[in-house]
Structure 1
Amino acid sequence: MRSAPGLTPVIGIVNIGVMIVAVVALLVLPLGHDDETAEHKAGPAPEATPPVVPPPPPVTATAESARNVGANELGLVPVLMYHRILSKRLASIDRTPSQLRGELEKLASEGYVPITAAEFVAGAVDIPAGAHPVVLTFDDGHPSHFALGADGTPKKDTAVRIIYDVAGRYPGFRPVATFWINADPFGLRDRARQKAAVGWLVEHGFEVANHTFRHPDLYRLTKKKIAESIVREQRQLKELGAPRSATFALPYGSRPKKRSTAREGKWDGTTYHFDAVFLAGAEPAISPYAKAFDPYNIPRVQSNGKKGECRKWCSQYWLEWLRKHPDRRYTSDGDPAHVSIPRRFRGKIKAKFDGVLITY
């Protein structure tokens, strides 16, 4: 992981050993209480039909308009990592529905707009001028992430329902996220129900992608076993009607001994290739337009407060840091056809974007 282009090197390099230690430590740390654990009052119940957020109106950015909104499309993007959403946390990495809702409402109130991991990697950041992209990611396909009620809408206190609750209160908050799933998505074992769940999410703009079939530690596996675990999940996703997985999240954030195995390989006659690989920690991600962007080592920020290992590595810390350093975060020019940046970052952008670059 590298520091953001042109920025003061305040963001440390986190190697895989540190990430694994941090994840294990967070699993066993006492829960305690912090600012993020206070119960957050829910807003009014959402409508029966989930809200639809229309795309922003088309604009053509100019140097003047980019300057007016402080556009910096080489800024940092928080890719937030969530696991179980439980009314009573059983591990430090769990979040309660109130905590998730509170964090999403803070993001919405500060002008963040969700995009999927695949959109981020592709540089498809189509959000209003002055807004900031955020990537909401949920690992393991836990039942608390998604389930449909008898009325055909997401059940109360699931991650998807909470995302829609927030979108209902903040119309600019686009209700999308990325779900990296395993063998029994959302706790479902019946293939028809699995297919219905994945189909609903894909139809509503969510990304459903590969997290291996049984969530092994890839560092401990042979190249063949890694490929098998990924291909088995790839085949399942295809059967369930999900598009090709452009992105892949490493179980436990643990990279294989041969790192290229996480992004491409072959097993039993089936090949796989990912456009990006996401880690398990522990800082905001570099813009996909930057020369320093490495699509196969994209860091994520665990959603959590500022206790223990999270004093400087989890979402409360980083979102506060980005709030205090607005010039360091990604701010959109509102024009997906151009990339706007302050002139001082001119040398930090990939050459292929020179033809669409706006500086001020």
Structure 2
Amino acid sequence: MGRFRAGHVGVLSLGVVALAACGQGESKVVAQPAASHKQAGPASAQEARKAALATAAKVKANELGQIPVIMYHRVVAKPSVTDDRTPQQFRAELERLAKDGYVPITAKEFATGKISIPAGRHPVVLTFDDSSPSQLTLDGAGKPKPDTAVAILQDVARQHPGFRPVATFYVIKDMFGTFGPEAQAQTLGWLRDNGFDIGNHTRDHLNLRGRSKQQVTDQIAAGHKLVTSLIKDAPVTLALPYGNQPSTKDWAMHGDAAGVKYDYAGVFLAGYTPAASPFSKDFDPLGIPRIRAMDKVGDCARFCSTAWLDWLNAHPEDRYTSDGDIKTVAFPKFKAPYVAQRFNRYTLPY
């Protein structure tokens, strides 16, 4: 397979770094000094930087590298379409990710650059489209039923400390097989309260390609309202139905209709390749690629999750590897030309 320009950014700041989406897909870092009675002196600052450089070099940090964003749909015992995965297949892929040193982060964390994982580990974004009951169904005690995607993810996380049980669910009006606003709010609230991320997949899952601006914004705003009316938390990212972008890409990122305004940090496509680091010049928040979850068969022999995870393992220099510090963006010095300019003050080249 062809090679991609790589990099990665860990996010650097004086204390707490927050990345906020701006217009035209730009981001800005708002650095807030950590609370302290005494400012660190020049000598201690130099020692801290020296230690950070040593850590970054030791783990071969590359926060400009590529990140796999994996796209799942149904998790069912008897698959009927190619996007379905069995519980056994899903569990096996999660086990592989844990073994290969990946740590799940949410689409929100990825798109906003808030990637906080241990040094030497690699982020992976697990995304689920269409809000199928196979992804999450709660039993009478309010717990995920066995063999649903959430139950499997939580079980794998228990067996692999450090493997975070988080994912992003892109919901539509057919929400996890529930009926009525109370049941829907219960399910979305459970996800939110247990650390999961909820994104917009439009209300009706219509193909947005070739539609007018009004039709595009109507669908996106309606999906946005569907979520906010149930749990009051606004989605931060959008996954395009079928991965098809509208004729003007920015309509998916920013817009308003029927009194509902949306302003997203990232718009996700349907599949194909790993995604660029949010700190790289290659990052495009208007069209973030995802990878279909699939074994090496047919076209997936090269372009789905098993194949891409194999490729990233074979090309570790192109994979995002964390330095363990959310306040810095660490990478080998020769990759410096690929850093997005707005992150220059947070870089840690070694």
Bin of the TM-score, shorter chain as denominator length: 0.7 to 0.9
> In structure 2, what residue type is equivalent to 1:5?
R
Q: 2:108 aligns with which of 108, 111, 118?
A: 118
1:5 aligns with 2:5: yes
Shift in Å, 1:115: 0.3
CA contact (8 A) 2:69 2:124 kept: yes
Using the alignment, how far apart are the partners of 1:201 and 1:357 within structure 2? 34
Query: How many angstroms does 1:221 deviate by?
Result: 2.4
Residue 4 (structure 1) shift: 4.2
Residue in 1 that maps onto 2:44:
none
Q: 1:96 aligns with which of 63, 86, 93?
A: 86
Q: 1:358 aligns to what SS in structure 2?
A: strand
Distance, in Å, in 2 between the alignment partners of 1:351 and 1:227 is 31
Residue pair 1:5, 1:290 contacting (<8 A) in 2 also = no
Query: Separation in 2 of the partners of 1:4 and 1:135?
Result: 19
Deviation at 1:278, TM superposition (A): 0.4
Q: C-alpha separation between the residues in 2 aligned to 1:238 and 1:6?
A: 36
Cα-to-partner distance string for 1:33-70 (whole Å, 9 max, x where unaligned): xxxxxxxxxxxxxxxxxxxxxxxxxx986111111111
Give the secondary-structure state (helix, strand or coil) at the position aligned to 2:288. Answer: coil
Asked whether the equivalents of residues 338 and 358 of structure 1 are also in contact (C-alpha less than 8 Å), the reply is yes
Contact 1:263 1:276 in 2 (8 A): yes
Cα deviation, residue 184, structure 1: 2.3
Classify 1:352/1:185 alpha carbon distance in 2 versus 1 (closer, same or farther; 3 Å). same
Per-residue deviation, 1:3: 7.2
| Residue correspondence of structure 1 range 1-360 to structure 2 within 5 A | 4-5=4-5, 62-360=52-350
Cα distance change on mapping 1:132 and 1:180 into 2, 3 Å = same
Shift in Å, 1:147: 1.1
Q: Note the residue ranges of structure 2 that are not aligned, 5 or more in a row.
A: 8-47
In structure 2, relative to structure 1, the CA distance for the partners of 1:242 and 1:147 (3 Å cut) is: farther
Deviation at 1:150, TM superposition (A): 2.3
Distance 1:215 1:359, change over 3 A: same
Q: Deviations over 1:294-322 (max 9, x none)?
A: 11110000000111121211001000001
CA distance, structure 2, for counterparts of residue 159 and residue 242 of structure 1: 24
Q: Distance in 1 between matches of 2:335 and 2:326?
A: 19
Deviates more, 1:223-232 or 1:125-134: 223-232
> Quick check: 1:136–1:178 contact (8 Å CA) kept in 2?
yes
SS, match of residue 303 in structure 2: coil
TM-score w.r.t. length of structure 2 = 0.85
Unaligned runs of 5+ in 1: 8-58
SS at match of 2:309: helix
Cα offset for 1:194? 0.4
Between the aligned partners of 1:199 and 1:282, the Cα distance in structure 2 is 31
Whether contact under 8 Å (1:113, 1:131) holds in the other structure is yes
* Contact 2:5-2:318 within 8 A present in 1 as well: no
Equivalent AA in structure 2 for residue 90 of structure 1: S
SS state at 2:176 partner: helix
The aligned amino acid for 1:125 is I
SS in 1 for 2:103: strand
Counterpart amino acid of residue 193 in structure 1: A
Residues 234-274 of structure 1: per-residue CA shift (max 9 Å, x gap): 11111111521110000000111222211122212322221
Aligned residues: 308
Q: Secondary structure at the match of 2:223?
A: helix
Shift of 1:6: 5.5
Query: For the aligned residues, what is the CA RMSD?
Result: 1.6
Normalised to the residue count of structure 1, the TM-score between the two structures is: 0.83
- Higher RCO structure, 1 or 2 (CA under 8 Å, sep 6+): 2
Shift of residue 347 of structure 1?
A: 1.4
Secondary structure at 2:126's aligned position in 1?
Answer: strand
Q: Which has the higher strand share?
A: 2
Cα distance between partner residues in 2 of 1:318 and 1:243: 33
CA–CA separation in structure 2 for the residues paired with 1:242 and 1:178: 17
Question: What amino acid is aligned across from residue 197 of structure 2 in structure 1?
Answer: E
Percent of aligned positions with the same letter in both sequences?
Answer: 45
Structure 2 CA distance, aligned partners of 1:205 and 1:322? 27
